[in-house]
A and B are shown apart, each in its own frame.
Chain A
Amino acid sequence: TEQPRRITDSFPRRRRRGPGRPPGRLKDKKDKDKVQVKVRDPPRAPSQPPPDPALLEMLRRFDLSWEYGPCTGITRLQRWERAQELGLSPPGPIRDALLEHRDNPDVTYRWVWDGMGG
């Protein structure tokens, strides 16, 4: 009698450890005394001074200009690059400002109302 062919014959099971993951995580799970506190990363200190309101206003106008297509759900840089590829000639200073302040979430994304990502 021959064994039924299993998919694990061709693709053997392997215990996967992601890179950088410490081995033996089962030990930590038993430690229930530790209070599970969700620690969020502290807001990253901007390396540059915060962008001035005039810049944010310029970006908001860029969002609202209908020539470059919808602004929801994509970063401003993605929208700028898409407009560039479609030949709509978006203004260069916008891209420079986006790259200069790329760490600041208020700059990279379109303005978010009530935290909805669109």
Chain B
Amino acid sequence: MFSERAAPTAQGLLAPPSAEPPTFPRVPVAGYSDCSQPFRLGERSFSRQYAHIYAVRLAGMRPALERRARGRWGSDIALRKLSELQAGEKCCVVGTLFKDMQLQPSILQEISEEHNLVPQPPLPKYIQPSDELILEDELQRIKLEGAIDVQRLVTGTIVAVYGSEQEDGRFLVEDHCFADLPPPLPWDGPSSDRFVLLASGLGLGSVSGEALLSTQLLVDVVTGQLGAEGEQSCAAHITRVILAGNLLSQNTQSRDTINKAKYLTKKTQAASVEAVKMLDEILLQLCTSVPVDVMPGEFDPTNYTLPQQPLHRCMLPLASAYATLRLVTNPYQANLDGVRFLGTSGQNISDIFKYSSMDDYLEILEWTLLAGHISPTAPDTLGCYPFYKSDPFILTECPHVYFCGNAPRFQSKLLQGKEGQRVLLVTVPDFSATQTACLVNLRDLSCQPISFSGFGADSDD
């Protein structure tokens, strides 16, 4: 793909400079439309409880699940509410899952004085063999047992279970299903090679500056300042760069200044100020050459709850002067050249990782697509805005490219659905740790990693 085209012209670097250096115009932006309007919050009111978002999630996904249940277990199965259950009758119930976990951090346990507990340290995973699954619908809840993987599932998923209620009041599950892949979108992709560069976790402002060289190499490749004519002509086919979160490093979130008294910290500057200046300069170099979409992440200066709102343009005065810079929300959805992209900065996937036995980020990403919801654990364990009218994280159409940022490593998979859906799943790795970004070819939905490394004092070569 990228490197195959570049290789034959590598000898050009050893030739004498030509009188007229060749120029490669970047492929023009054919079609772009931003579809992340549901993730934009206007006036925000936090005086609501989260019962609303769970109610609209269930009401919104119930029709799709009932259709799936009828298709899977027969169109004559009994769809019952929990209040209508009769012991021993085989029926299907649609509801929200709740996983009762012993190790789940609970603020009430922490402040309870009778227990006198030390606050629980953060663990990589909070699952335990003693966890239980409970199904809730609009009015009641019931414990589940049987053919359902308790360890794998997380709170907030909408599921349809088929089975019967037992004498002891539990529901014995014989089979269960999720909403499955949403309906497909028509394909209108380009006929020639167009690439989109996905990178995340630039991690600026960290203590070590090792990743800075790799970041500069990435910028140079995209703007065509690296390599011979072959690489430059390939770079001219990159139509867009999407930065999926964590542009700032976790080190910029220093907690010491927050706990100290104000008069001691008056003159200290927040670590994120320097980091944002660096980000501005890097984005300036990119924006002069290619459209860039910047999504905020976990450590970026924007709101904490999902959906994260775009970074404010006053933080990036140099780069905001260019119209090619787009500051977008997390999650982000857009049509690029007829290909629908949907992705997050990774908080939804890493939260599911903590509360599920699934270890592979790509597996979790695929599972969220099959469950029909971007982030089922919000608002239980992941902060979320209290929506009341509709849940914008429900997947109503199947995207062509579904990505998540800040994964531990690069993985990709092309998923084919029964109704003709074709989705490319990409886990974009953390650039500050792996120095790897991804190139997605919009023509055939293929994806390849691109890695950068510098020769340091420790390396052998």
Using a CB–CB distance below 8 Å, which chain A residues touch chain B? Answer: 7, 9-11, 66-67, 69-70, 72-74, 78, 81-82, 85-86, 88, 117-118
A118 close to B47 (CB less than 8 A): yes
B383 within 8 A of A: no
For chains A and B in complex, what number of residue pairs have CB atoms within 8 angstroms? Answer: 48
**What residues of chain B lie closer than 8 Å to A10, measured between beta carbons?**
314, 317
| Closest-CB distance, B66 to chain A (whole angstroms) | 13
B450 within 8 A of A: no
**What residues of chain B lie closer than 8 Å to A88, measured between beta carbons?**
59
Q: Which of B50-58, B233-241, B250-258 contacts its partner?
A: B50-58
**What residues of chain B lie closer than 8 Å to A86, measured between beta carbons?**
56, 59-60
B72 within 8 A of A: no
The 10 listed contacts between A and B (C-beta, < 8 Å) are A7-B314, A69-B55, A69-B59, A69-B138, A73-B48, A73-B388, A74-B48, A82-B56, A82-B389, A85-B390
CA distance A81 to B60 in the complex (A): 14
A66 close to B52 (CB less than 8 A): no
In this complex, the interface size class of chain B, counting residues with CB under 8 Å from chain A, is 10 to 19
B264 within 8 A of A: no
CA distance A82 to B390 in the complex (A): 8
CA distance A53 to B389 in the complex (A): 29
A72 close to B138 (CB less than 8 A): no
**What residues of chain A lie closer than 8 Å to B390, measured between beta carbons?**
82, 85
A69/B56 contact (C-beta < 8 A), A11-B317, A74-B388, A82-B388 known? yes
| Closest-CB distance, B448 to chain A (whole angstroms) | 38
B56 close to A117 (CB less than 8 A): no
**What residues of chain A lie closer than 8 Å to B416, measured between beta carbons?**
none
| Closest-CB distance, B136 to chain A (whole angstroms) | 13
**What residues of chain B lie closer than 8 Å to A67, measured between beta carbons?**
138
B56 close to A73 (CB less than 8 A): no
A66/B317 contact (C-beta < 8 A), A73-B52, A73-B388 known? no
